[in-house]
Amino acid sequence: MLRWTLIFLVVAIIAAIFGFGGIAAGAAGIAKFLFFLFIVLFILSLIFGRRSTDV
């Protein structure tokens, strides 16, 4: 998922360089959403992945 965030970030930067403001804003918004989603899933995996399997 972090890969998609970086892809949309690069698309946003390239679109901004060429002057496509709407496309750049859309790609940046998607990249921002995916980044925060990745962070939330990462934190959840840290919390729930530390469960002990000892019985």
Q: For 7-52, write each residue's pLDDT tens digit.
A: 888 888 888 888 877 878 888 888 889 889 888 988 888 888 876 6
Q: How far apart are CA 9 and CA 38, in angstroms?
A: 14
Q: Is the pTM of this model over 0.85?
A: no
Query: Of 12, 7, 13, 10, nearest to 38 (Cα)?
Result: 7
The domain spans of the chain are: 2-48
